[in-house]
Every structure is written in C-alpha cells, then in structure tokens.
C-alpha cells in the first residue's frame, strides 16, 4: 500500500497542497521565523565579523603588552625604560610658560568660586636647569568655613594643570565658629618655551 502512495501523483499533490495549506495557515509564524533568520545573518555579516576582527587585534595588542610587562622590575634596563616613559608622560602634560596667567586665573576663580577671602598670593619662579623646566610656587592664605576650604582643595585637585602641594596647614580662628585659616603652597611646572 505504501508503494501506491509513492507512485500515485494525486496523493503526492494532495500532500504537497496540505503542506502549503499548513504553511499559509501559519504564515505569521513562518514570516517571523524568516525575518529573524535574515536579521541574524545580517547582524552576523555586519556587526559580529567586524567585532571579531577588532577583538583579534586587541588580543594581539594585549599579548604584546603582557610580554613587555613580564620583565624583571629590578633589572636596571627595565627601570630606566619605565622612568623614561614616566618622565615623558609628565612632560607631555606640561603647559608652556606663556600659559601661566591662565593658570593664575583658574586658581583665583576656584578660590572666589567658593566665596573665600584671600589675603596675599605670592608667586616664586624657579628655573630648573637640569630639566629645562620652570617651577612656579604659589603661596596664599585663605580664610573661611572648613567645608568651603575642603571644596577649594577638591576644586584645585580637579583643575587640568599639574599641581604639587608643597605645604598645607589649617588653623582654627575661633573655637565657637567653623572659621579656619588655610595656608597653602602649591607648585606648578611649565616648559621653558
């Protein structure tokens, strides 16, 4: 009987029509499946292939970096290379000497922005011949509430210039109020040009 169904074209046509009918009946489901399949192929071709290339490049870069980092840190050559890189990084962040007035304005704006009173501000330039740098030390005394002084220190820390705190001292003005004197001495380094 099974050979009858295989050899009879009417039975094959009925089965084919039945399959087509079932597909038409569930066309929303099958359309959704086709759209998802096409989207999957599209994302694979455009996004995943590009990302996999980038991931491979980053893996190679990481492997190179990791091999550099496996040197003996006590080795004199490695210490020299690390120190040289640190100095170059420091020099790259330095501003030119001509930017000093802008530096002073940023500092003054930070102080006045906190509503603090400043007594005197002194600037002491020092040429560091060995390093071809100018070192400007700025010293000042500010009075105000402790919270505002902490805000000033935070603001100075967030300024884009490189500051090195040389000295910092707080002194209470009164035992009853939160008035404090802040003496601050900070250094900033500039390129000679």
Element (H, E) at 1: none
Burial (CB < 10 A; 0-12, 13-18, 19+), residue 190, is: buried
| Domain covering 95-191 in this structure, CATH number | 3.30.70.60
Cβ neighbours, 10 Å, residue 107: 22
> Measured between alpha carbons, how far is 178 from 153 in angstroms, rounded to an integer?
17
Prediction pTM value: 0.51
Render each residue's pLDDT in the chain as its tens digit; 193 residues. 455 555 566 656 667 777 777 777 777 888 898 999 999 998 888 888 888 888 888 888 877 776 654 455 567 887 888 888 888 888 888 888 888 888 888 888 888 888 888 888 898 889 887 778 888 898 999 988 888 888 888 888 888 776 788 888 988 877 777 888 889 998 888 887 6
Could you tell me the two tokens for 155? Answer: 């603001």
């Amino acid at each position: 009987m099974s050979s009858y169904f295989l050899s009879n074209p009417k039975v094959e046509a009925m089965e084919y029509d039945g399959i087509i009918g079932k597909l038409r009946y569930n066309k929303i489901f099958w359309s959704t499946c086709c759209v998802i399949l096409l989207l999957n192929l599209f994302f694979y071709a455009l996004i995943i292939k590009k990302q996999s290339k980038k991931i491979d490049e980053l893996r190679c870069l990481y492997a190179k970096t990791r091999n550099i980092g496996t040197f003996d840190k006590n080795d004199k050559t490695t210490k020299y290379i690390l120190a040289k890189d640190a100095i170059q990084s420091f020099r790259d962040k330095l501003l030119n000497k001509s930017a000093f007035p802008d530096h002073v304005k940023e500092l003054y704006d930070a102080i006045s922005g906190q509503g603090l009173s400043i007594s005197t501000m002194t600037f002491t330039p020092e040429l560091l011949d060995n390093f071809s740098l100018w070192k400007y030390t700025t010293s000042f005394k500010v009075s105000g509430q402790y919270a505002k002084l902490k805000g000033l220190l935070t603001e100075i820390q967030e300024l884009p210039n490189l500051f090195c705190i040389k000295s910092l001292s707080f002194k209470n003005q009164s035992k009853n109020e939160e008035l404090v004197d802040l003496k601050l001495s900070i250094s900033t380094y500039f390129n000679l040009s």
